[in-house]
């Protein structure tokens, strides 16, 4: 299942634009969509923590999705993204960069790797009651415990950081880039634009998972 995102729903013709500025603008749009997804996860997670706190599967799934998606907004790679210094521009109280590092560490240790300080599995001997005669080993049991999600305050802090990044960082960069890309588009002969491929609204299917982005 795919979700198509576009800023203009009119049925006017479109022409695909390429180049570094167009790519940077597209990357910002993708990062914004990821941050909005994190915000939706946080909203649902906070609600589920109030209404059904015993559903550990849903809570862990929502938290895992939020942390992984948030972290990829800061990864260096084919897609341009955000960096740690952007957090200092948000005017948030407390230590937003420290909280950000905690989320990134959570992604790296709690979610991406099987051996981490956020989960513990131990094996113990099950003993007969203290007053039993004779006292003996009744069997062996495995005990597991793991951290599932932040508390409600942490969830809403993550939500607020994502919202501020969209409103105060991405919006400003996108505004500047849109003006530059518009100027570049108007410098291209109009007949050439009409001959270009339309902007694709249909994302690639699962068979594209093994291909590398260019």
- For residue 33, what pLDDT is reported? 95
Answer for the pair 144, 119: CB distance below 8 angstroms, yes or no. Answer: yes
Please report, in angstroms and rounded to a whole number, the separation of the first and last CA atoms in the chain: 23
CB atoms within 10 A of CB 25: 20
The partner residues of 141 in beta bridges, in order of sequence, read 124
- For residue 9, what pLDDT is reported? 44
Q: The whole model's pTM is what?
A: 0.77
List the one residue out of 148, 178, 141, 187 whose CA is nearest residue 28.
178
Is-cis flag, bond preceding 151, omega within 30? Answer: no
List the one residue out of 12, 61, 36, 29 whose CA is nearest residue 181.
29
- For residue 211, what pLDDT is reported? 63
- For residue 116, what pLDDT is reported? 47
Helices (H), 143-195: 152-164, 171-187, 190-195
Q: What are phi and psi of 125, to 5 degrees?
A: -90, 130
CB atoms within 10 A of CB 157: 20
- For residue 110, what pLDDT is reported? 57
Q: What are phi and psi of 19, to 5 degrees?
A: 115, 165
- For residue 210, what pLDDT is reported? 59
Low-confidence ranges of the chain (pLDDT < 70): 1-10, 76-78, 110-121, 143-149, 201-214
- For residue 146, what pLDDT is reported? 57
């Amino acid at each position: 299942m795919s979700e198509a995102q576009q800023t203009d729903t009119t049925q006017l013709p479109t022409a695909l634009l390429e180049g570094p500025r167009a790519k940077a603008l597209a990357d910002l749009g993708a990062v914004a969509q990821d941050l909005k997804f994190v915000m939706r996860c946080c909203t649902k997670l906070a609600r589920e923590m109030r209404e059904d706190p015993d559903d550990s599967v849903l809570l862990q799934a929502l938290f895992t999705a939020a942390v992984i998606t948030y972290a990829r907004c800061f990864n260096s790679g084919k897609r341009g993204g955000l960096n740690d210094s952007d957090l200092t521009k948000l005017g948030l109280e407390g230590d937003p960069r420290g909280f950000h590092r905690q989320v990134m560490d959570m992604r790296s240790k709690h979610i991406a790797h099987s051996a981490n300080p956020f989960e513990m599995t131990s094996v113990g001997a099950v003993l007969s009651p203290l007053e039993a005669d004779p006292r003996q080993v009744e069997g062996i049991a495995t005990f597991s415990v793991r951290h599932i999600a932040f508390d409600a305050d942490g969830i809403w802090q993550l939500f607020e950081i994502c919202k501020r990044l969209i409103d105060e960082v991405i919006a400003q960069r996108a505004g500047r880039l849109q003006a530059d890309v518009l100027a570049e588009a108007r410098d291209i002969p109009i007949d050439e634009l009409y001959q270009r491929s339309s902007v694709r609204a249909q994302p690639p299917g699962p068979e594209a998972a093994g291909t590398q982005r260019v």
